[in-house]
């Protein structure tokens, strides 16, 4: 039987209440403060019965994405449970991850929106946490190559028709900040196949000569 941890937010991994160790609770702050939710589940259900970790996003459902995630709620959960807590909300780089971990004592950080069109964010955050180094962002070449690879993976997983449409949202993130990105996005919106998508990118690369931007 599935048992959802929080009143708010969806669950990527729902506790199943079975005592198995393969379940994770994803807990938005919820309609009731997340920490109350956690104490409740910790006392009687999911956490006490085997969830090995919990992810907390410090917003209520009503907050949607306004303001910044409330770190105090994450800290309350950290203090209330005896399993690792994964903090979540508004982390987009190493310093933000470090600050969240230091302020809340969470064991790890989950990254959502900042990973859209930017899968490098995980390596960048890990490097920063391990060494304090801020890695340079990916080159244009890497970004376009990753967009191609991403689309290909989506095609394999979901079929070309769905993949190309889904890729439109991702693509505009991959192209963020590139010269003539608006034109490129407009063209990509028209692509109906992986081949067309690739052809548009190749045309773009040739047009720009793929010179690195001056920062």
Ligand X SMILES: Cc1cc2nc3c(=O)[nH]c(=O)nc-3n(C[C@H](O)[C@H](O)[C@H](O)COP(=O)(O)O)c2cc1C
How far, in Å, CA of 202 to CA of 185, rounded?
Answer: 14
Binding of residue 91 to ligand X (CB under 6 A): yes
Binding of residue 209 to ligand X (CB under 6 A): no
Closest approach of ligand X to the CB of residue 10, in Å: 3
**Binding-site member from 1, 10, 130, 215 for ligand X (CB under 6 A):** 10
Assign 48 to helix, strand or coil.
helix
Contact pattern for ligand X over residues 113 through 152, marking x by CB under 6 A:
xx--------------------------------------
Binding of residue 89 to ligand X (CB under 6 A): yes
The answer to whether the CB of 137 falls within 8 A of the CB of 120 is yes
The token pair at 37 is 């939710």
In this complex, which beta carbon is closest to ligand X, that of residue 166 or of residue 194?
Answer: 166
Residue the block writes with tokens 């104490």: 39
CA-nearest of 105, 41, 39, 95 to 71 is 105
| Contact partners, residue 211, CB within 8 Å, separation at least 6 | none
In this complex, which beta carbon is closest to ligand X, that of residue 14 or of residue 184?
Answer: 14
Binding of residue 57 to ligand X (CB under 6 A): yes
Binding of residue 67 to ligand X (CB under 6 A): no
Closest approach of ligand X to the CB of residue 15, in Å: 13
Binding of residue 111 to ligand X (CB under 6 A): yes
DSSP class of residue 15?
B
How far, in Å, CA of 210 to CA of 129, rounded?
Answer: 32
Helix (H) or strand (E) holding 137, with range, is: none
Assign 56 to helix, strand or coil.
strand
Binding of residue 12 to ligand X (CB under 6 A): yes
Closest approach of ligand X to the CB of residue 6, in Å: 9
Binding of residue 47 to ligand X (CB under 6 A): no
| Contact partners, residue 7, CB within 8 Å, separation at least 6 | 30, 31, 32, 37, 61
Binding of residue 38 to ligand X (CB under 6 A): no
In this complex, which beta carbon is closest to ligand X, that of residue 11 or of residue 187?
Answer: 11
Binding of residue 172 to ligand X (CB under 6 A): no
How far, in Å, CA of 191 to CA of 199, rounded?
Answer: 9
In this complex, which beta carbon is closest to ligand X, that of residue 54 or of residue 200?
Answer: 54
Interface residue list for ligand X (CB under 6 A): 9-12, 26, 57, 88-91, 111-114
């Amino acid at each position: 039987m599935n048992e959802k941890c929080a009143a708010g937010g969806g669950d990527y991994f729902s506790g199943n209440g079975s005592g198995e160790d393969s379940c994770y609770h994803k807990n938005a702050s919820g309609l009731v403060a997340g920490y109350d939710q956690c104490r409740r589940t910790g006392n009687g259900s999911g956490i006490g019965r085997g969830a090995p970790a919990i992810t907390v996003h410090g917003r209520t459902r009503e907050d949607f994405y306004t303001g910044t995630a409330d770190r105090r709620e994450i800290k309350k959960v950290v203090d209330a449970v005896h399993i690792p807590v994964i903090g979540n909300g508004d982390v987009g780089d190493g310093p933000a991850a470090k600050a969240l971990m230091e302020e809340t004592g969470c064991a790890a950080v989950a990254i959502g929106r900042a990973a859209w069109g930017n899968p490098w964010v995980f390596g960048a955050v890990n490097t920063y946490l391990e060494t304090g180094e801020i890695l340079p962002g990916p080159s244009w070449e890497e970004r376009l190559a990753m967009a191609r690879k991403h689309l290909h993976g989506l095609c394999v997983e979901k079929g070309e028709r769905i993949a190309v449409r889904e890729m439109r949202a991702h693509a505009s993130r991959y192209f963020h900040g590139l010269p003539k990105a608006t034109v490129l996005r407009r063209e990509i919106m028209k692509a109906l196949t992986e081949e067309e998508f690739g052809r548009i990118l190749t045309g773009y690369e040739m047009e720009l000569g793929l010179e690195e931007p001056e920062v």
